[in-house]
Amino acid sequence: MLLDGIYTLTCSNVDGTITAPILTNPRYGTNQNDICFTVTPDLLPDTNTYCVTVLGAHSQANLVISPDPATCCFKHGSEYPLFHVLYKRYDDVATEI
């Protein structure tokens, strides 16, 4: 991928409103297939649905990607399994033997 095209991010909030976080600073990730952005404000984990749309981006061979536009929706943090933290308190344990 080249660092061209128009990238937009929309957020479907839990309260039903739709916002558009700002994407800046496009750069390559681990290789030229991964494009990273700085997102403002930060994404909220496990609550909102985010959709990224890519329009008019080109491959390394200077061909327009297909489909154009391409859209992918996700929930930030859903790639991690849910877990619970269990705290055990030992207030009633005798301290004398």
Q: Could you identify the residue written with the tokens 């128009």? A: 6
Checking if the pLDDT of 85 tops 70, the result is no
Q: Could you identify the residue written with the tokens 């990224």? A: 52
Question: What does each C-alpha distance from 82 to 5, 42, 48, 58, 73 come to in angstroms?
Answer: 35, 20, 16, 37, 20
pTM for the predicted model, two decimal places: 0.69
Structural domain for 15, as ranges? 6-74
Q: What pLDDT digit, counting tens, does each position of 2-27 carry?
A: 999 999 999 988 777 888 899 999 99
Question: Do the domain assignments include residue 12?
Answer: yes
Question: Do the domain assignments include residue 95?
Answer: no
Q: What pLDDT digit, counting tens, does each position of 53-62 carry?
A: 999 999 999 9
**Total domains in the fold of the chain:** 1
Question: Do the domain assignments include residue 81?
Answer: no
Question: Do the domain assignments include residue 94?
Answer: no
- Rounded Cα distance between 14 and 9, Å, is 16
Question: Do the domain assignments include residue 96?
Answer: no
